[in-house]
């Protein structure tokens, strides 16, 4: 067996961690000092006691709570939808024999490489024709099911479900959907949790699509509301304390989610990669 790592390995890791945690820490520092102090030299490095004043100013300036609620709704519905449809499709590709399944899977993988920009203009037109711009369904629809989700579930289910189980259920006379329900879903559970988590984060952090489709409406997600904070009329970048307090407020929900589920996130990333 190899020896335990020495001081050098730990030292390098700690240095990297401090470096990557610092921007977040400093954002909190700026968000917790007064507006004047935020731009004075030397730059503050220790948190002040004004975070709640700044947070109150954020809530004053933008409709933070409704943006938060919108983000939760959009990310939550997308996560449920992606998990449901991806598990169905992934199971079908992994375990069921049907004509065209190989071609279909290649097609799914190929769509992962298509940049969203290609669809932007017509999608925006479609949605405005349907009168959906400025509504949450417009934000959710593109996230109903993702190629990545289908691919991820297929990779997982290929090994997770023994064929004998499916055959046994079939011999017992279970219909296809019943087999899916009693055999596939229990086996897929761990992967479903990871995919839900991933999708939730992906949709939560998405910026371009909500920016386009919600432009000029008072329905905003957390990310687009944050953008509005930056361009407060006549402010430019002057009110750094306000902007950073808003940034921290917008990051806290995901931080909490990360503290609760980070372990699964790590294993999800590592699983998705090994077979990729």
Name which position in 69, 73, 109, 123 contacts other proteins (CB under 8 A): 123
Within 96-115, the residues that bind other proteins by CB under 8 A are 96-98, 101, 104, 108, 111, 113-115
In this chain, which stretch among 46-54, 60-68, 161-169, 207-215 interacts with other proteins, using CB under 8 A? 207-215
CB 58 within 8 A of CB 228: no
* Cβ proximity to other proteins, 11 vs 162, nearer residue: 11
Token readout for 45 is: 């490095």
- Smallest distance from other proteins to CB 186, Å: 17
CB 124 within 8 A of CB 212: yes
Within 143-202, the residues that bind other proteins by CB under 8 A are 144-145, 147, 150, 171, 175-177, 180, 201
Name which position in 89, 139, 191, 214 contacts other proteins (CB under 8 A): 89
Please report, for residues 4, 19, 104, 263, the alpha-carbon distance to residue 9 in angstroms, rounded to integers and kept in the order given.
10, 16, 45, 22
Q: Which residues contact 226 (CB under 8 A, 6 or more apart)?
A: 62, 246, 247, 250
In this chain, which stretch among 6-14, 47-55, 62-70, 188-196 interacts with other proteins, using CB under 8 A? 6-14
Name which position in 7, 38, 137, 164 contacts other proteins (CB under 8 A): 38
- Smallest distance from other proteins to CB 77, Å: 14
Distance CA 124, CA 209 (A): 9
Geometric angle at alpha carbon 18, from 204 and 4, rounded to 5°: 110
- Smallest distance from other proteins to CB 12, Å: 6
Within 64-83, the residues that bind other proteins by CB under 8 A are none
CB 145 within 8 A of CB 87: no
Number of residues that bind other proteins (CB under 8 A): 99
Distance CA 195, CA 25 (A): 29
For residue 49, the number of C-alpha atoms closer than 13 Å in the C-beta half-sphere is 0
Distance CA 197, CA 205 (A): 12
In this chain, which stretch among 53-61, 62-70, 136-144, 160-168 interacts with other proteins, using CB under 8 A? 136-144
CB 245 within 8 A of CB 25: no
Name which position in 59, 73, 88, 158 contacts other proteins (CB under 8 A): 88
- Smallest distance from other proteins to CB 144, Å: 5
Name which position in 117, 131, 163, 164 contacts other proteins (CB under 8 A): 117
Query: If residue 43 lies in a helix (H) or strand (E), which one and from where to where?
Result: none
* Cβ proximity to other proteins, 191 vs 250, nearer residue: 250
* Cβ proximity to other proteins, 46 vs 273, nearer residue: 273
């Amino acid at each position: 067996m190899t020896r335990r790592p020495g001081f050098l390995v730990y030292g390098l890791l700690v240095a990297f961690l401090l470096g990557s945690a610092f921007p977040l820490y400093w954002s909190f520092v700026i968000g917790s000092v007064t507006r004047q102090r935020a731009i004075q030299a030397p730059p503050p490095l220790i948190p002040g006691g004004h975070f709640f004043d700044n947070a109150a100013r954020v809530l004053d300036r933008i409709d933070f709570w409704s943006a938060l609620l919108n983000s939760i709704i959009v990310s939550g519905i997308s996560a449920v939808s992606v998990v449901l449809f991806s598990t169905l499709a992934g199971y079908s590709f992994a375990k069921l024999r049907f004509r065209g399944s190989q071609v279909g899977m290649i097609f799914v993988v190929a769509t992962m490489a298509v940049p969203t920009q290609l669809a932007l203009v017509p999608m925006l037109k479609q949605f405005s024709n349907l009168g959906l711009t400025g509504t949450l369904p417009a934000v959710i629809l593109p996230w109903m099911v993702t190629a990545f989700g289908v691919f991820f579930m297929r990779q997982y289910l290929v090994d997770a479900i023994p064929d004998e189980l499916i055959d046994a259920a079939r011999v017992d006379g279970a219909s296809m959907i019943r087999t899916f329900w009693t055999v596939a879903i229990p086996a897929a559970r761990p992967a479903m949790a990871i995919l839900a988590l991933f999708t939730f984060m992906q949709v939560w952090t998405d910026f371009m699509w909500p920016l386009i489709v919600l432009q000029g409406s008072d329905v905003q997600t957390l990310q687009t509301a944050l953008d509005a904070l930056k361009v407060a009329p006549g402010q430019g970048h002057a009110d750094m304390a306000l902007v950073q307090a808003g940034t921290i407020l917008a990051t806290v929900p995901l931080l909490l989610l990360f503290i609760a589920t980070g372990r699964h996130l790590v294993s999800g990333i590592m699983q998705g990669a090994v077979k990729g």
